[in-house]
Copies of this chain bind each other. A is one copy, B any other.
Amino acid sequence: MSFIRNILNSRTDSDGNFFLKLKDILGFKPKSKSLYIKAFTHRSMNMKDKKGNAINYERLEFVGDAMLSSVIAAYLYEQVPHGDEGYLTKMRSKVVSRQHLNELGKDLNLIDLVQSRIPKSNFGNNIHGNLFEALVGAIYLDKGYKFCERFIYKRVIYPYVDIETLEGKVISYKSLLIEWCQKEKNTFDYEVYEDTGKDELKHFSVRLSINKKVVSKARATSKKKAEEKASKRAFFAFQKQMTKLI
């Protein structure tokens, strides 16, 4: 116990609002704080419990990955009664793809909560998805399946999972977004600028505004890709209104 308290204290010292930020993401108060500390501890911290077992988020990823698979499986089973086993497997793998999990983790800024001895800029892109999985694992172990399911619905299914999109019926998010803006009499603007940053490859950044308000940003190696990415993000934000178009 005193060990856990020490970690808690080190957290509190170094990052006073860890649990505040966390509560904001979770939408509930965590019961077992040590689980969430584990979910945001990188292996470079080299932490161990009394028995010498490593304390970091990697084992929690395994649990979170399994819970995501189950919840999405049951959701797709109910939602797509015509889909056979192969279809359901394919659809699930789209929802829990590495790329998608990374987006989910990035949108929640989970990387801000990590304790690590490695500079955060040195992490690869997969850190975002890994942290998201670990967080889901911690929620399951802390609060049980029902709670974990609710979190996945709130953070993955409601905002991001649309069967029509997954089926590839949406070819271009940009054209979908323009169509929607025209129909709803909204103005829109893609502000694109070259942005090399520290990368060797030339990058483009884009700010998409609807009715003069910035609704999404994105960065990619071509103008077209950056615009598509920003449109996709805006699509998710306005999903309910926009899916009526499809």
Listed stretches A13-21, A51-59, A153-161, A194-202; interface member = A51-59
Give CA–CA (A73, B58) in the complex, Å: 13
Evaluate contact between A77 and B53: CB separation under 8 angstroms: no
Q: Does more than half of chain A's interface fall in helix, strand or loop, or is it mixed?
A: helix
Q: Is there a chain B Cβ closer than 8 Å to A127's Cβ?
A: no
Give CA–CA (A81, B73) in the complex, Å: 27
Give CA–CA (A141, B66) in the complex, Å: 17
A149: nearest chain-B partner, CB-CB: B145
Chain B residues with CB below 8 A from A52, complex form? 82
Per-residue contact bits, chain A 201-234, to B (CB 8 Å; 1 contact, 0 not): 0000000000000000000000000000000000
Q: Which of A58-101 contact B (CB under 8 A)?
A: 58-63, 65-67, 69-70, 73-74, 77, 81-85, 88-89
Residues of A near any B CB (own CB < 8 A)? 49, 51-54, 58-63, 65-67, 69-70, 73-74, 77, 81-85, 88-89, 137, 140-141, 145-146, 149
